[in-house]
Amino acid sequence: MVDPILSPDGNFMWTGTEWIPAPPNVTDAPKQSAPNTFTMNDSVMSGDIVHNTVVNNDATVVTTAVIEALKHLGVIGANPSETVTTLPPEAVELPAAFQVGDHVEYYSPTNERWLDRCKVIGINADGTYEIEVPYTDTVQIKPAVIIGTTPGTIRPASPPYVVGDKVLVNWKNYGTYYPATIAKDHENHTYLIHFDDGDIEDEVEWNRVEKLALESPEIQEYVEHISEAEFELIEAFKVFDDDNSGMISASEYFKILTELGDEPLSPEDVMREFQELGIGEDSEINYRELAKYLVGSEMLANAEPRKPEVLIQNTEIRDGLLYGHAYAHPKLGDAKNLRSSPIVSVTYDERATARVETQNTVYIVGPTGWSVRPEDHPFNVQIFEPGQAVKVEWQGSWWDAIIRERRNSDYLIHYVGFESSWDEWVNPNRIR
């Protein structure tokens, strides 16, 4: 029987044509676990954990950590909150350009995931791309997309990692990156991951993997901190692991929660929470996974919040506010008539893609994403006429040239003293 394909959180199952809610009995228990075992897959980590990661083998200290962990795992009862991914800032390596025929992945705002098997079929005059996006029973054409990592953008389709690469991996897609090694490259663009702490995770999508920049002091500090903190916490949990199995019995947890600590819980409350999660008296809890959650949640609590990036089109700036059609907004979803909070700043990259920062969000506007371009937009430059003598930038130097033809915002130019084979279409940023 073929194993079902599940989403990273185990809540959805792929039927071959669409994602549907997974039945309760579909998610398999992790390998090497006892049949009646409670692992971190049974609940969702949430909220900020306020504790000190540096612990020792003192039972009271570990008890506090255990109680805090179970609270935020939902065993004691905590309201789920949004998980924020934490990772030291590192520039995402994207190609400067694609060519017609290149295979790419497209971030679908509707599906909220990367779609592979897409192909570049055209390059527009403004530097955007026309791509084919195959779906189950049709192929859609996206007329103007840009290179990036946000909804509505494209990136290389070939995974940038090979077996043996040292990487940082977003463990179980719960928001915290841990050092690991690529152990196997599957044909479906996923990996078998061996974490440095001995944990193993399979079918990891490559958008959860980041290169481990060993030359970066910041990355090295991050790896050393998270590895040391996890190791110390695991060592502390071993106080309760008499047979060195990597598990702590539910009965031991029951005793910890109801008898130890400054504010022990009532047996009725603990039993009710255990019953809701299906934890029986003979169940065990994987404390290595628990340690990962504790360390990760502390880093999430201490990390500087990052503003979400949202793709927006049909855009206009009026009275210091941004208006347009936003895709996959974290709070509003697909907002066709969005009006932003006051704009903090507007910047443009070399492709004239704008980053419009507001109080809580960064909006990404492609070169053709404006219904009314701002006055300082790179395309709002002097209009050159055919026959006009100009200077054109080529490989860092300025050359005499003649405007031959204008098409939209680009110009066909002829370099003075050179054959017509050197004629090329250039954007206004290269002309003066």
Say if residue 267 is in the same domain as residue 230.
yes
Q: Is residue 183 part of a domain?
A: no
Alpha-carbon separation of residue 141 from 324, 328, 371 (angstroms): 22, 20, 21
Instruction: Say if CB 149 and CB 113 are below 8 A apart.
Output: no
Closest CA to 311 of 331, 345, 344, 334: 334
Q: What phi and psi values does residue 299 have, to the nearest 5 degrees? A: -70, -35
Q: How many domains does the chain have?
A: 5
Say if residue 79 is in the same domain as residue 225.
yes
Q: Is 10 left (phi over 0), alpha (psi -120 to 50) or beta?
A: left
Instruction: Say if CB 157 and CB 205 are below 8 A apart.
Output: no
**What's the rounded Cα separation, in Å, for the pair 224 and 231?**
10
Q: In what order do the strands lie in the sheet with 354-358?
A: 333-339, 321-329, 309-318, 362-365, 354-358, 343-348
Say if residue 47 is in the same domain as residue 25.
no
- Last residue of some domain: 275, 302, 329? 302
Q: Is residue 279 part of a domain?
A: yes
Q: Is residue 123 part of a domain?
A: yes
Closest CA to 85 of 328, 327, 299, 358: 299
List Cβ neighbours of 328 (8 Å cut-off, separation of 6 or more).
Answer: 109, 112, 151, 310, 311, 334
Per-residue confidence of the chain (432 residues) as pLDDT tens digits? 445 666 555 655 666 655 555 655 444 433 333 333 434 333 323 223 223 333 344 444 555 555 555 554 444 444 434 444 444 544 557 888 999 988 888 888 877 778 877 889 999 988 899 999 887 667 788 988 999 888 889 988 866 688 899 989 888 877 788 899 999 988 766 889 999 888 889 988 776 888 787 777 888 888 888 888 888 878 877 877 777 888 888 787 787 778 776 777 788 887 876 776 566 777 777 777 777 877 776 665 665 667 788 889 999 999 999 999 988 887 787 888 889 989 999 988 766 788 999 988 899 998 888 998 898 887 776 778 889 998 988 887 889 999 999 887 789 999 998 998 899 998 877 887
Q: What phi and psi values does residue 372 have, to the nearest 5 degrees? A: -135, 115
Say if residue 267 is in the same domain as residue 324.
no
Range of the domain at 237: 34-84+220-302
State the sign of the Cα–Cα–Cα–Cα dihedral 242, 246, 251, 256.
positive
Give the per-residue pLDDT at 31: 36
Say if residue 289 is in the same domain as residue 224.
yes
**What's the rounded Cα separation, in Å, for the pair 50 and 209?**
28
Grouping H, G, I as helix, E, B as strand and the rest as coil, residue 2 is coil
Tell me, yes or no, if the pTM score tops 0.85.
no
Say if residue 111 is in the same domain as residue 146.
yes
- Last residue of some domain: 302, 322, 351? 302
Q: Is residue 116 part of a domain?
A: yes
Q: Give residue-wise pLDDT tens across range 160-190.
A: 688 899 989 888 877 788 899 999 988 766 8
Say if residue 19 is in the same domain as residue 47.
no
